[in-house]
A and B are shown apart, each in its own frame.
Chain A
């Protein structure tokens, strides 16, 4: 279903787009996220239902499968940790 793509920048762009869509944040704000920007626990929009939506939308758009075991507070802590996780899944 998904074309093979090893472009790390595209994963970064997709992750930002999904955060905009799921959390309802502005593109300008999410564009400023860097590796250390805190996410889960730091953004009021990022509740458990948003986590569910985020994971499913990432699966669909990146063509990956995220197991329940993959998901923990560390993975969701910062933009950098979520990006590292997404790249590891999408670019293998």
Chain B
């Protein structure tokens, strides 16, 4: 599939580190800042996130995805990162994007929703948001079962302690999507699989299409 008007990477100033923003779509266009899922879930939903961004970008929007300090292509060591570093990095990414064109919305996947309160966007769209307690339980459980570490990730105790009490903000214009098989409340439910649980990363064009269609419809 042809990339819609470009795939590119830019550096943004995230406090005391420089981090990468991936962009799909035209640079100077109304934009959406995507916030990835956290830890192993980030890797497992990378393809889904990129597919959703590509579909939204095909409609002329700039879709941006930041690396959090200590993850992705970041040069920072996760061991040295605090939860506040992630919060300020997200805020800095939002400033970078807002400086180019209008930031229409922030779209977060899973644990990304714990950080979207730091983005001054008029709308917050979330897919399968999760609270920090559940992520910490999953990390420690996976570490326990898999033998050592937190499932390959070694977040420092301070980050874990802050994550433990993190909740998605309730402020602002929020739209929440969940899987049809999820009993939690949502504005809309979509068919599909919890790809963040797959040991072998998979994507789903059907799910990406459902997510992209909902974002485009909602932001009007």
Please give the residue numbers on chain A whose beta carbons come within 8 Å of chain B beta carbons, in ascending order: 1-3, 5, 10, 13-14, 17-18, 20-22, 24, 48-57, 59-63, 68
Q: A49-B142, A59-B134 are in contact. List 11 more A-B contacts (CB 8 A).
A: A1-B185, A2-B184, A20-B193, A21-B193, A21-B195, A24-B200, A49-B199, A50-B199, A52-B145, A54-B197, A59-B137
Partner of A18, one of B145, B180, B181, B202: B181
**CB-CB nearest in chain A for B200:** A24
Chain B contributes a number of interface residues (CB within 8 A of A) equal to 26
Instruction: Decide if B146 is an interface residue (CB 8 Å cutoff).
Output: yes
Q: Report yes or no: A52 in contact with B181, Cβ–Cβ below 8 A.
A: no
| CB proximity of A81 to chain B, nearest CB, Å | 19
Partner of A56, one of B138, B181, B199: B138
Task: Note all chain B residues with C-beta closer than 8 A to A48.
Answer: 145-146
| CB proximity of B109 to chain A, nearest CB, Å | 14
Contact A17-B197, Cβ < 8 Å, known A59-B134, A59-B137: no
CA distance A37 to B197 in the complex (A): 22
Instruction: Decide if B141 is an interface residue (CB 8 Å cutoff).
Output: yes
Q: Which 4 A-B residue pairs are closest in the complex by CB-CB distance? A: A17-B181, A21-B194, A48-B145, A56-B138
| CB proximity of A79 to chain B, nearest CB, Å | 16
Instruction: Decide if B10 is an interface residue (CB 8 Å cutoff).
Output: no
Task: Note all chain A residues with C-beta closer than 8 A to B182.
Answer: 14, 60-61
CA distance A60 to B126 in the complex (A): 16
Q: Report yes or no: B142 in contact with A52, Cβ–Cβ below 8 A.
A: yes
| CB proximity of B145 to chain A, nearest CB, Å | 4
Interface centre among A3, A59, A61 (most CB of B within 10 A): A61
**CB-CB nearest in chain B for A56:** B138
CA distance A3 to B195 in the complex (A): 24
Contact A61-B142, Cβ < 8 Å, known A21-B194, A21-B197, A24-B202: no
Could you mark each residue 149-162 of chain B with 1 if its beta carbon is under 8 Å from any beta carbon of chain A, else 0? 00100000000000
| CB proximity of B188 to chain A, nearest CB, Å | 15
Task: Note all chain B residues with C-beta closer than 8 A to A5.
Answer: 183
Task: Note all chain B residues with C-beta closer than 8 A to A63.
Answer: 183-184
Task: Note all chain B residues with C-beta closer than 8 A to A59.
Answer: 134, 137
Task: Note all chain A residues with C-beta closer than 8 A to B100.
Answer: none
Task: Note all chain A residues with C-beta closer than 8 A to B185.
Answer: 1-3
**CB-CB nearest in chain B for A7:** B183
CA distance A1 to B194 in the complex (A): 19
Instruction: Decide if B77 is an interface residue (CB 8 Å cutoff).
Output: no
CA distance A54 to B141 in the complex (A): 11
Instruction: Decide if B29 is an interface residue (CB 8 Å cutoff).
Output: no
Task: Note all chain B residues with C-beta closer than 8 A to A2.
Answer: 183-185
Partner of A52, one of B138, B179, B180, B183: B138
Contact A1-B184, Cβ < 8 Å, known A20-B193, A21-B198, A53-B197: yes
**CB-CB nearest in chain B for A60:** B134
